[in-house]
Amino acid sequence: MPRGWYLAQGLIPLGYSSSDDEEGPCELPNGRLVCGPHGLVSCHRCCSDYSFVDDVLSHAGDEDDEDDEDDSIVDSSDVPSHGPGDEDMHYDGGWDEEMRKGTGRDFPAKFVPPSASVTPLDLFSGRKAHMLVTRYTLQNDPGTALIHTDGACLNNGQPDPKAGWGFWHGLNPSGKRLVVTGRLEKKGPFGDDYAQSSNRAELRAVIAALGFRHWPGEGFRTLVIATDSEYVVEGSTKWAKTWVQNGWKTRAGPVKNKDLWVALLGQVEGFKEGGMVVKFWRIPRDWNTVADAAAKDAAAKEDAPNEWSRVFGVNI
């Protein structure tokens, strides 16, 4: 959509869309958000609902590595996974086999880089080996690791939407980037049916990344999720606090994608109990090309799984 269209509608295009290409929210001069393509607070065509902002406002009173295409990409169906009914694996220290629901006791924080111009791979230039995998860490703090996540949805808000997710979590012994991808399931983590959308895919990517490993077991005290999604970053660190206080309701009705939000908060609480905090870093889209491409490739796959499954990673 040309910039002149936004200005004619009295809208201010956000710097980086939380959805694909020309989708995502735009900010009105009064701070409210509307969908970019249609200028609506609640838009069924975009599968978006920004009515929660009214409540939030009322309560406010290498680069080299990024361009390298030599990746080791694993589809989530190829790594060990367990559905809601499997009970053969149990983990302690804040990482749960059963998907827990967050209570609102703990929330993730925003990661604040020392400079707005520093890229994730410039800042996380340290390398920490764990068995056969190397993680990206802060150079002077091997206890803080970096993961890139993203979600995508083809035909978002249109008939036959197809969503996928991806995350990039380290390097294998050959120096290839380790990327995990998957199609968004038709059911959520607690068994209910949901439509495919970019917002759900973005949240799904984070949930998959957090649950992929027992990160405190690798010696991490802080896990930084780098994403270009404003929806994920602001929702998890700011808006969710208001949603919890209001019983997960907005003036327009129930919070959209509540199941994924409470699942994400449950993971945050579990890791906090295990001695690790989760932080979110909103980055420009052109700093997130690896995860973005992985998510779009996953979305293009024909069949979406019917049932939600837990994805566990092994260092091989």
**Is 114 a domain residue?**
yes
Is the domain of 13 the same as that of 78?
Answer: no
Structure confidence at residue 191 (pLDDT): 93
Boundary (domain end) residue, out of 41, 58, 75: 58
Q: How far apart are CA 249 and CA 89, in angstroms?
A: 35
Is the domain of 146 the same as that of 114?
Answer: yes
Q: Which domain holds residue 9?
A: 3-58
Number of domains present in the structure of the chain = 2
Boundary (domain end) residue, out of 58, 73, 90: 58
Structure confidence at residue 311 (pLDDT): 84
236: which DSSP letter? I
Residue at 138: amino acid letter: L
Is the domain of 51 the same as that of 158?
Answer: no
Domain CATH number, residue 304:
3.30.420.10
Is the domain of 29 the same as that of 144?
Answer: no
Is the domain of 258 the same as that of 142?
Answer: yes
Q: Rounded to two decimals, what is the model's pTM?
A: 0.75
Among left, alpha and beta (phi > 0; psi -120 to 50; other), residue 155 is left
Q: How far apart are CA 210 and CA 225, in angstroms?
A: 9
Structure confidence at residue 208 (pLDDT): 97
Calculate ∠ Cα 220-225-229, nearest 5°: 170
**Is 86 a domain residue?**
yes
Is the domain of 119 the same as that of 254?
Answer: yes
**Is 52 a domain residue?**
yes
Is the domain of 148 the same as that of 44?
Answer: no
**Is 316 a domain residue?**
no
**Is 77 a domain residue?**
yes
**Is 262 a domain residue?**
yes
Strand blocks (E) in 85-219: 109-110, 126-130, 133-138, 141-154, 162-171, 177-183
**Is 82 a domain residue?**
yes
Structure confidence at residue 99 (pLDDT): 84
Is the domain of 28 the same as that of 137?
Answer: no
Is the domain of 113 the same as that of 26?
Answer: no
Is the domain of 52 the same as that of 73?
Answer: no
| 198-212 and 258-273 helices, crossing angle to 10° | 20
- Return per-residue pLDDT of the chain as tens, 316 residues: 433 332 233 333 333 333 443 455 665 544 556 666 666 766 655 666 665 555 444 443 343 445 444 566 666 655 433 333 222 222 233 445 578 999 999 999 999 999 999 999 999 999 999 888 999 999 999 999 999 999 999 999 888 999 999 999 999 999 999 999 999 999 999 999 999 999 999 999 999 999 999 999 999 999 999 999 999 999 999 999 999 999 999 999 999 999 999 999 999 999 999 999 999 999 999 999 999 999 999 999 988 999 999 888 865 4
Is the domain of 45 the same as that of 141?
Answer: no
Is the domain of 32 the same as that of 70?
Answer: no
**Is 301 a domain residue?**
yes
